[in-house]
Amino acid sequence: MCGIVGYVGERDATRIVFDGLKRLEYRGYDSAGLAVLSDGRLEVRRSVGKLAELERVLDREPPRGTVGIGHTRWATHGKPSEVNAHPHLDCRGDIVVIHNGIVENYVELRQRLRDQGHVFRSETDTEVIVHLVEAFAADGASLDEAARRALRELRGNHAIVLMSLREPDRLVAARLGNAGGVTIGLGEGETFVASDLTAILDHTRTMAFLDDREMAIVTRDGFRCVGLDGTPVDKSTTVVSWDPVAAAKGGYKHFMLKEIYEQPRAVSDTIRGRVNQGPASVRFEGVPWTDAAWRRFRRVLIVGCGTAWHAGLIAKFMLEDLARVPVEVDYADEFRYRNPLADAETLFVAVTQSGETVDVLVSMAEARQRGAKVLAVVNAIGSQAARAADGVIYTHAGPEIGVASTKAFTAHLTALYLLALKLGQARETLSNDQLNQAIQRLLELPHRMGDVLSRDQGYEDLANRYAKCRDFLFLGRGINYPIALEGALKLKEISYIHAEGYPAGEMKHGPIALIDEEMPVVAIAVRDHVYEKTLNNVAQVKSRGGVLIGLGNDGDDTLAAISDHLLNVPETSEHLTPLLTALPLQLLAYYLADRRGCDVDQPRNLAKSVTVE
Ligand code: G6P
């Protein structure tokens, strides 16, 4: 959601914090701000809009200092404005705070503090934090002591960083619940704080991650961790292998385009080291269960949000078919409110790129409480979901910066396919031959994905032609129905064209009324076991005067004959077709959005990781 960066060291804090914020701008970008301790003063700069605005402000009056904090905001309480942008100051201008999360009891806290004489300047919930700390510091308490007392009064989930003129050698960072991560990065004579490790990867790979209700007192020599009750916590550090270069645009116009083209690599990295052929097997380094333990699961529950939920819907087909185990898929935001049935024989799978989506984290806790075993399929190393799960399957997509998820999606599908094979092996629903064959198809997949991505399929022509359309309909059946949903989601997220995904067979029960020459219909009709049925459904579009963009296998003349435009993918096994059909739809959405002049990487109102419920 919001991006947080902090620095204590010897170098120019403004530059380091600002550069870190640039790496996090995808998390929230309606306003931004930065504070630096400068010769006994707290210099604060804030601005509405994207970071380029803040940069203009900084260029005019650059604050100079070696300790600083910065924030990019995704507004929840109070509109995006300079005064509502973080950092927020206390009454005297001695203490500053940046914050991710929502102070659920801010109304009563603000009233109490106002009654005590505190003056509020913004409409945010965040500002109560800094006044509370000020109140506790008034009797001489140190910053960390005042912060500990203040934080105990907050309801909700929070990531917080504080800085004070009175203790200019340190930052205080804290995590309460799941409002995004708090990562501490250790350098030589300098220490970093960030909501997301990509912000500080340029400087260090040695990281520590705060857990719930932990606070770190951060100085240039490192950090000390305590619980909110004051007890010292022994924190271990991890060396992260992500390459900072992977988080740069590398010559592409947008991160999204770069990430689309990285998919063959992301998928092969996700497979690597996890499969054996001959006596075929699948193994996950982060999952501690024996085959007997895998066998004990009688059902699978999958949750996710947005694109990750679509990955879950596809996994249902893979798991039910290959491992013959019943699967339910829920939106994480719905799961916890439906009194779900889960027990010790339930495998609960949380699918999440960021590992910080709060709805997912809360569902994991709910499932665990009901006795289920929790497995996280997650991309972000050290994220909360990874740490809260009983087992983790990391996808190796690398940092995904574009808000609309692409490579994380296909990496999720790869990991979920491996999970289906693992369960199929343990439950003996797959013979050794079948498993060998499935693994072979999977190993060939990155090459096929590369083939699809290297084809010039006329995306720019399609974009020129249809950029002015107001609506799109996406159709698919079976395992490609969720791809229709995903194609529609990608398009609406980044181009703001209204789009719906529908099962092709359902079109006749409603959406068919919409068909006309103004609304392109994108139909996925690959040669799978429902191919002919899908073709019949799709033909109804043409016979009603609709515009048809067909997406089928190479050499499909039947589909070509009824389509106004054709997109092709090679054949693969049915369970893996979504990893190919997703690609032309990502590119179609990308070129349409770019043609319409939209901000592809940072679409309006969205955020990369959603840490509010
Ligand atoms: C946001 C993003 C989506 C993403 C969803 C779930 O809505 O804009 O791209 O699919 O969150 O995020 P997660 O990190 O849990 O996969």
Contacts of 603 (CB under 8 A, 6+ apart): 403, 404, 493, 494, 496, 593
Q: What is the pTM of this model?
A: 0.76
The angle at the Cα of 8, spanning 40 to 24, to the nearest 5 degrees, equals: 115
Largest CA distance in the chain: 81
Q: Is the pLDDT of residue 10 over 70?
A: yes
3-state secondary structure of 449: helix
Averaged pLDDT for residues 593-598: 96
> Ligand 1, atom 11: nearest CA belongs to which residue?
609
Virtual torsion, Cα 265, 267, 269, 271, nearest 10 deg: -150
Residues in the chain: 613
Measuring CA to CA, how many Å separate 262 from each of 250, 332, 397, 408? 11, 28, 8, 10
Q: Is the pLDDT higher at 397 or at 178? A: 397
447/275 Cα distance (integer angstroms): 17
- Compute and round to an integer the Cα radius of gyration of the chain: 25
Q: What's the confidence (pLDDT) of residue 250? A: 64
Q: Which of 27, 599, 608 to mutate to test the pocket of ligand 1 (most atoms within 8 A of CB)?
A: 608
Lookup: tokens for 150: 């203040």
Query: Could you tell me the distance, in angstroms and rounded to a whole number, from the CA of residue 385 to the centre of ligand 1?
Result: 13
Averaged pLDDT for residues 462-489: 97
Q: Is 352 in the pocket of ligand 1 (CB under 6 A)?
A: yes
Query: Could you tell me the distance, in angstroms and rounded to a whole number, from the CA of residue 304 to the centre of ligand 1?
Result: 8
Facing residues of 524 across strands? 551
320/322 Cα distance (integer angstroms): 6
Atom number in ligand 1 closest to CA 307: 10
551/578 Cα distance (integer angstroms): 12
Query: Could you tell me the distance, in angstroms and rounded to a whole number, from the CA of residue 178 to the centre of ligand 1?
Result: 15
Contact between residue 170 and residue 217 where contact means Cβ atoms under 8 Å apart: yes
Burial status of residue 213 (CB atoms within 10 A of its CB: 0-12, 13-18, 19 or more): middle
String of DSSP letters for 322-359: HH---EEEEEHHHHTTS-----TTEEEEEEESSS--HH
Q: Is 282 in the pocket of ligand 1 (CB under 6 A)?
A: no
What is the band of 24 on the pLDDT scale with cuts at 50, 70, 90?
A: confident
Q: Which of 605, 602, 490 is nearest to 25 (CA)?
A: 602
Q: Is 357 in the pocket of ligand 1 (CB under 6 A)?
A: yes
197/320 Cα distance (integer angstroms): 36
DSSP label of 51: H
Give the tens place of pLDDT for each residue, 199-213: 898 899 999 999 889
Contacts of 508 (CB under 8 A, 6+ apart): 537, 540
> Ligand 1, atom 5: nearest CA belongs to which residue?
306
Query: Could you tell me the distance, in angstroms and rounded to a whole number, from the CA of residue 492 to the centre of ligand 1?
Result: 14
Is residue 87 reached through a cis peptide bond, with omega within 30 degrees of 0 on the bond before it? Answer: yes
Lookup: tokens for 556: 């499909």
What is the band of 288 on the pLDDT scale with cuts at 50, 70, 90?
A: very high
Q: What's the confidence (pLDDT) of residue 238? A: 86
Contact between residue 419 and residue 278 where contact means Cβ atoms under 8 Å apart: no
Q: What's the confidence (pLDDT) of residue 95? A: 97
Q: Is 305 in the pocket of ligand 1 (CB under 6 A)?
A: yes
> Ligand 1, atom 8: nearest CA belongs to which residue?
608
3-state secondary structure 417-442: HHHHHHHHHHCCCCCHHHHHHHHHHH
> Taking all residues of the chain, what is their mean pLDDT, rounded to a whole number?
92
Q: Is 235 a catalytic residue?
A: no
Order of strands across the sheet that contains 95-101: 88-89, 95-101, 158-164, 171-176, 214-219, 222-227, 232-233
DSSP 3-state helix, strand, coil percentages of the chain (rounded to 5)?
A: 40, 25, 40
Q: What's the confidence (pLDDT) of residue 244? A: 57
Q: Is 457 in the pocket of ligand 1 (CB under 6 A)?
A: no
Query: Could you tell me the distance, in angstroms and rounded to a whole number, from the CA of residue 403 to the centre of ligand 1?
Result: 8
Lookup: tokens for 568: 């092709």
Q: Is the pLDDT of residue 27 over 90?
A: no
Burial track 96-110 (b if 16+ CB lie within 10 A, e otherwise)? bbbbbbbbeebeebb
Q: Which of 582, 588, 429 is nearest to 521 (CA)?
A: 588
Query: Could you tell me the distance, in angstroms and rounded to a whole number, from the CA of residue 187 to the centre of ligand 1?
Result: 31
**Side chain identity at 599, as an amino acid letter?**
D
What is the band of 367 on the pLDDT scale with cuts at 50, 70, 90?
A: very high
- pLDDT > 90 fraction of the chain, expressed in percent and rounded: 77
Q: Is 406 in the pocket of ligand 1 (CB under 6 A)?
A: no
Q: Is the pLDDT of residue 611 over 70?
A: no
Atom number in ligand 1 closest to CA 360: 15
Q: Check 407, 490, 492, 608 and give the catalytic one.
A: 608
Return the number of other C-beta atoms located less than 10 Å from residue 588's C-beta. 28
Q: Which of 395, 405, 409 to mutate to test the pocket of ligand 1 (most atoms within 8 A of CB)?
A: 405
223/170 Cα distance (integer angstroms): 9
Q: Is 379 in the pocket of ligand 1 (CB under 6 A)?
A: no
Q: What's the confidence (pLDDT) of residue 399? A: 86
Q: Is the pLDDT of residue 466 over 70?
A: yes
Q: Is 608 a catalytic residue?
A: yes
Query: Could you tell me the distance, in angstroms and rounded to a whole number, from the CA of residue 250 to the centre of ligand 1?
Result: 23
Q: Is the pLDDT of residue 80 over 90?
A: no
Q: Is 602 in the pocket of ligand 1 (CB under 6 A)?
A: no
Q: What's the confidence (pLDDT) of residue 604? A: 82
Among 250-254, 328-332, 508-512, 604-608, the range of highest mean pLDDT: 328-332
Contact between residue 356 and residue 376 where contact means Cβ atoms under 8 Å apart: no
Q: Is 185 in the pocket of ligand 1 (CB under 6 A)?
A: no
Q: Which of 310, 353, 379 to mutate to test the pocket of ligand 1 (most atoms within 8 A of CB)?
A: 353
Give the tens place of pLDDT for each residue, 512-549: 888 888 999 999 999 999 999 999 888 888 888 899 99
Q: Which of 210, 422, 401, 173 is nearest to 319 (CA)?
A: 422
Among 178-187, 387-396, 541-550, the range of highest mean pLDDT: 387-396
Q: Is 306 in the pocket of ligand 1 (CB under 6 A)?
A: yes
Residue labelled with tokens 């097997």: 281
Q: What's the confidence (pLDDT) of residue 197? A: 83
Contact between residue 154 and residue 129 where contact means Cβ atoms under 8 Å apart: yes
**Side chain identity at 1, as an amino acid letter?**
M
Residue labelled with tokens 């009824």: 562
Q: Is the pLDDT higher at 603 or at 134? A: 134
Averaged pLDDT for residues 276-291: 93
267/578 Cα distance (integer angstroms): 13
Among 97-106, 245-254, 493-502, where is mean pLDDT lowest? 245-254
Q: Which of 255, 307, 310, 491 to mutate to test the pocket of ligand 1 (most atoms within 8 A of CB)?
A: 307
Contacts of 6 (CB under 8 A, 6+ apart): 17, 68, 69, 70, 98, 161, 163, 171, 173, 192, 193, 194, 218
Q: Is the pLDDT of residue 243 over 90?
A: no
Q: Is 178 in the pocket of ligand 1 (CB under 6 A)?
A: no
Q: Which of 441, 447, 402, 467 is nearest to 260 (CA)?
A: 402
Q: What's the confidence (pLDDT) of residue 408? A: 97
Q: What's the confidence (pLDDT) of residue 540? A: 87
Contact between residue 518 and residue 471 where contact means Cβ atoms under 8 Å apart: yes
> Ligand 1, atom 2: nearest CA belongs to which residue?
608
Lookup: tokens for 487: 């194609």
Measuring CA to CA, how many Å separate 398 from each of 322, 494, 601, 611? 28, 21, 16, 20
Half-sphere exposure (Cβ direction) of 539: Cα atoms closer than 13 Å: 9
